[in-house]
Structure 1
């Protein structure tokens, strides 16, 4: 994926300014910054989920050299190649349907209609995210699962078809430290399987542990961008230094 000169407006207000980013196969890029910096808007633009009040004024978003936002049908064509994990897993699920039924519908949408094959995929993917009591999870309504379990299910579903690009919007922010560590390790394993991951977060510890590259975003602009070690250990911008200094010991995550 690559982004060239992307600017996004809400009405007359520019919320993302002239952003340039690129992401290779199997690479993890984390966009960090405080709330309101434009991170989630950037992710919404890439995924085609900008609300009706937002407009892309300049720039192009490419997935394997295909310009995405210029043609809305391209998002449907690439729905297996590009998937998204949302910050609030509870909002991802229909509260009136059991998890298993929703997973079945997701598989049917992508052409898997054989019931035995569906069961096999569900079991395999849920076990990959360390949900071992598969039958109980599939027979549960979303509210019967913890936030961490809901997030694991959403990750399992989003990665079922080994997407080329995985977008993740603050996927660990509402989770306990142990669950955060498990999800981070799962993302690293996905990258080894050649899935590129673009994650937005305000958690510099998480960014430090799993990223190949880090982009620091402030007031809609990328103010610092480079490989992980340069950003974490040799930051140039005062804002980046402040983010790092405000972070609890990075070793807590690295030893997790």
Structure 2
């Protein structure tokens, strides 16, 4: 009985940190500890919105904790190993985001729901990492070939962590407010502490090649659809070759890491 009560208390303590961190306010409690002991092994806390073509999004929030203290490390391990505590943790996370989704749906007059929450616990050196993920249906507004992400991020949203938005494959940014600190290949990043008031991200779907108007060649004729392009030629520097090169480089890094 005493052990059950202890595990419940541990779960509530971590849940409190998670929920405060996810909704702004005194979120520095969890983040500051990580910054004081972060040795480069664990990635910094992040809030990631991975948008899908239908307007839904996978929302992932990562939390990091200083486990150099024996009591905190023991508490983290007990939470990770307790099915009951983890289930309670996950349910509270999903419930909190479901509440935000319901409020956002009322403001935008668009159907939304949150479901399928999951949790992952791991340790990296003296850092404990908790990753919470949920599927948020209807997060982005869909209008023809456009996706628009605004609320709940446009009205006083603060994560106290790096904020990422990942677009569907080949989607492009039509407009974004405020400007991202980094933007590469459908991945936009705002550093922690960025004022996102009035946030709006409008994206455009890739053009359908079957309906696209072919671009005329220099002589005014339409390009031959059966012609072999540079990217299709074996041994060229096209996309396929680039991917192989990247994979080879990653494998090399993994081999070096195992030798250290």
- Bin the TM-score by the shorter chain: under 0.3
TM-score (norm 1): 0.24
Bigger RCO (CA 8 Å, 6+ sep)? 1
Structure number with the higher helix fraction is 1
